[in-house]
Chain A
Amino acid sequence: MPESVFGVVGLFDSADALMAAIPEVRARGFRNLHAYTPYPVHGMDEALDLPKSKLGVLVFLIGSIACVAAFTFEWWTSTRAYPLMTGGKPYNGWPGWVLVMVESTILFSTLTTGIGMLFAFNKLPYFGNPMLGSEAIASVTRDRFALMAASDRGALDVAGATEALRAVGAAALEVVYEPDHARPGVGWWVRTATTIVAASAVAGFGTWWAIRAYPTIKPMVNMEVQPRLDAQRPDAFFANGRGMQRPPDGTVPRASVPILDTVPDDAGKSLMNPLPVTAAVLARGRAQFNLHCAVCHDRLGTGHPWLDSTYQAFPVDLQTGPIRAAADGYLYWVISQGIRTMPGYAADISPDDRWAVVRYIRALQRSQDAPARDLK
């Protein structure tokens, strides 16, 4: 098997001996020297003429980018994407962003340092390193110091290198060969494929199980499930099994006056507006009218014709003759009970407010048909 030589390696007992040997081996014309030590030996970089590490430049670059990116991101979210007023401070209150910028800078700088050092500058992982297959590797990661005269573009005077290393006192001389990079065999492919399939199966079944199992767990349900009676729900608390109980017979809601008339015309004859015509009553009526009535009848009571096509509702124009002629009791009955598509507002507007609304409707009618003396 033709093997190419990676280098000749010799071991020393101390870092000092190794350092002393470097210039001598170099003097014999071996330029491509590598030192392997169990710990960083200071002065080794000068002895071997190693260039200074450029790691700092990369880290500074990435760190600066991270700093600017963090600032930009904070600026964008705080002033553009989601401006949120807190404590009356300005949206672009940059002093509050500084700490996140610092942390982001450090995070990305340190990740660059670690990953860059291992994977970019030291070109790891390198499991095919010929040194890993050598006899010397066990010693150089332990308590010995190795010097290697490495082959320079495949050319190395093996005998000369061995002789040079022996002359400077290196022990356990060894020729390290480039490993034979054979293609992976069938067995390797089978193993790899089996591993991938098995891992996918485990992940798939795990996910399937998790999705099935997870929704059945309801954490912290005490907001959702409370010991209380719900309207329209069964409940074992009462004998009749209902959550909602009927009030005792003869109960009337507070401030409620039952309307006994069954048609509005009867109400127009039997009911009288109890409220006086004062500015306070009209203001009260206007508030309720604008709140509940104006949405269909418009603020002047003329009605929104466009509701016809949209909702098939025909809000009556309160300014027309029949309505002007109708009694207060009639209007009160309609507001309370509703008519045609209009719902009753008894639940939403109190009886006094309804009467106030009637007064306000009268005021609206007069405002749209004012005699000349009103304008004086």
Chain B
Amino acid sequence: MTEATLPAALRVEPLVQGDVTLAGLDDHIRGWTERKPPRAWYVAITITSLTALMGFAAIGYMLYEGIGIIGNSVPVVWGFLIINFVFWVGIGHAGTLISVILYLFRQRWRNAISRIAEATTVFAFVCAMMFPAIHVGRPWFPYWLVPYPNQRGMWVDFRSPLIWDVFAVLTYFTVSLLFWYLGLVPDFATLRATAKSRTRRAVYRLLSWGWVGNARQWVHYEKGYLLLAGMTTVLALSVHSIVSMDFAVSQLPGWHMTIFPPYFVVGAAFSGFAGVVLVFAFVRTVMQLENYVTMRHMDLLNRMVLFLACVMTYAYLMEGFTAWYSADPFVKYIFANYVFGDQWWAGTLTIFLNCVLPQLLWFPKFRRSVPVMVTVSAGVTVGMWMERYTIVILSLHRGYLPSSWGMYLPTRYDFMILFGSIGLFLTLLLLFLRKLPVIAAWEVKPDIVFYQKQSAEAGHA
């Protein structure tokens, strides 16, 4: 029985819709790289780049004046900068999960969204990597993090989670960038042949290395893509686990827990998917990608958000259970402090935005409603940031030694740096949307061919 003869309720919604052709997709993608962007783009990039500049100014002032201008102080020695680092690493997980894990599971709906998702990964990591570098006490020595032969005869301590972190984050960034670029090569080859200006053609010619789409090339290409997908899966699961060990290997109540690695990975995927929904909610209409990124894609993405929200809720409950079952008064107190302490709003907001609000997505109508998905995803993005705030700040300010308890208040520079990093991310994203192919055409084209065949069959039936 073919798809067309099935009753409507059983039919799988196609991955593309409307009047789509292979050439039409190429022209659409190329059009955005060559056309003068709409006025809204200029307005947006002005705002985001000015925000980024503000952040860099704050960082510059911090480097000049010293780390004392931000809110970090004993006992809360990890403040906004570490929260932002963990947050951006989390956002950066969507790209790999969508591109890689869904690829291994042969989920074809990932094809249309993989390119932008990978771009968010790369840009999120640019933002993330900035933070440990400026957070070190002497930011002109960040290269001390890397093991290299030096006159001091010293080497890094390989048993420290902080050095695992350096390896994990640098590897993840390199691999995401490589993965993103390799995906772009065939699309650069397409643009090379059709781009209007000579300079552009020359640039695309260099970037595609003379790719011609020979079947012999595709054999190696697909093999390489599969290998990368397999290895990057390991990486995607390990990176945030390692980030969590920065916390879990220490002795602090609220940090020293075995649940941390999986809990961080789920959190990362959760915030990443929410970030991707947020990006696509705007991009698909503004860039008229509705035919390629359909409401079905958004529905599936929202289902992922809902699923991860449920896993997240379970993780929170397990954390609470561990605290109660440990019978350790300090650990129990820390968890009570998250929701009933001086900064009760941090823990409460985390639970509301990450566990309660996404439950809206159980309703199919809401999964396909742009205002609802934007609200939920924005909520999750803020909620996941608040979660990291809860973990970093609220654990540190109530340690094992009540005489060392303190309070944390961020300064205006903390906020300037946080918003600056968001500005930097959005600026890079806007530049990418303006100049590079936003859809992995070579991955979506088979879906278009499949859709065309199906439509033809339906027409004959």
Contacts and interface: CB of A to CB of B under 8 A. Distances in A.
B189 A219 contact: no
A14 B221 contact: no
Given A77-B155, A222-B65, 12 more contacts: A53-B222, A53-B223, A74-B158, A82-B154, A117-B224, A124-B211, A126-B209, A137-B212, A138-B193, A141-B192, A143-B22, A143-B26
A55 B223 CA distance: 7
A126 B154 CA distance: 45
B328 interface: no
Contacts of B26: 142-143
Interface string B171-185: 100110011011001
Interface in A185-214: none
Interface in B143-175: 147, 153-160, 163-164, 167-168, 170-171, 174-175
A118 interface: yes
Interface stretch (B122-130, B234-242, B386-394): B234-242
> Most chain-B Cβ atoms within 10 A of its Cβ — which of A36, A55, A114, A127?
A114
Contact of B139 (A40, A74, A219): A219
Give chain A's interface residue range (CB within 8 Å of chain B): 35 or more
Nearest to B30: A142
Nearest to A89: B159
Contacts of B199: none
A232 interface: no
Closest 5 CB pairs between A and B?
A143-B22, A96-B159, A117-B224, A53-B223, A138-B193
B216 A50 contact: yes
A81 B228 contact: no
A110 B175 contact: yes
Nearest to A84: B157
Contact of A122 (B22, B217, B445): B217
24 contacts: A38-B190, A38-B213, A38-B442, A39-B443, A48-B215, A50-B219, A56-B223, A73-B147, A77-B147, A99-B167, A100-B158, A100-B167, A103-B168, A103-B235, A113-B231, A118-B182, A118-B209, A122-B220, A129-B210, A129-B212, A141-B212, A142-B194, A143-B26, A220-B63
B442 A97 contact: no
Contacts of B220: 53, 55, 117, 121-122
Given A141-B190, A143-B21, A143-B22, A117 B223 contact: yes
A152 interface: no
A142 B190 contact: yes
A129 B212 CA distance: 8
Given A56-B223, A110-B228, A142-B22, A222 B212 contact: no
Interface residues of B, number: 72
Contacts of A55: 220, 223-224, 227
Interface of A: 14-15, 34-41, 44-45, 48, 50, 52-53, 55-56, 59, 73-74, 77-78, 81-82, 84, 86, 89, 93, 96-97, 99-100, 102-104, 106-107, 109-111, 113-114, 116-118, 121-122, 124-129, 131-132, 137-138, 140-143, 217, 219-220, 222-223
Contacts of B23: 142-143
Given A97-B159, A100-B163, A127-B210, A56 B238 contact: no
B218 interface: yes
B37 interface: no
B446 A114 contact: no
Nearest to A134: B212
Contacts of A141: 186, 189-190, 192-193, 211-213
A32 to B, nearest CB: 11
B232 interface: yes
Nearest to A108: B171
B189 A102 contact: no
A143 B20 CA distance: 12
A77 B215 contact: no
Nearest to B22: A143
Nearest to A138: B193
B304 to A, nearest CB: 24
B215 A34 contact: yes
Contact of A81 (B155, B163, B178, B213): B155
Contacts of B174: 107, 110-111
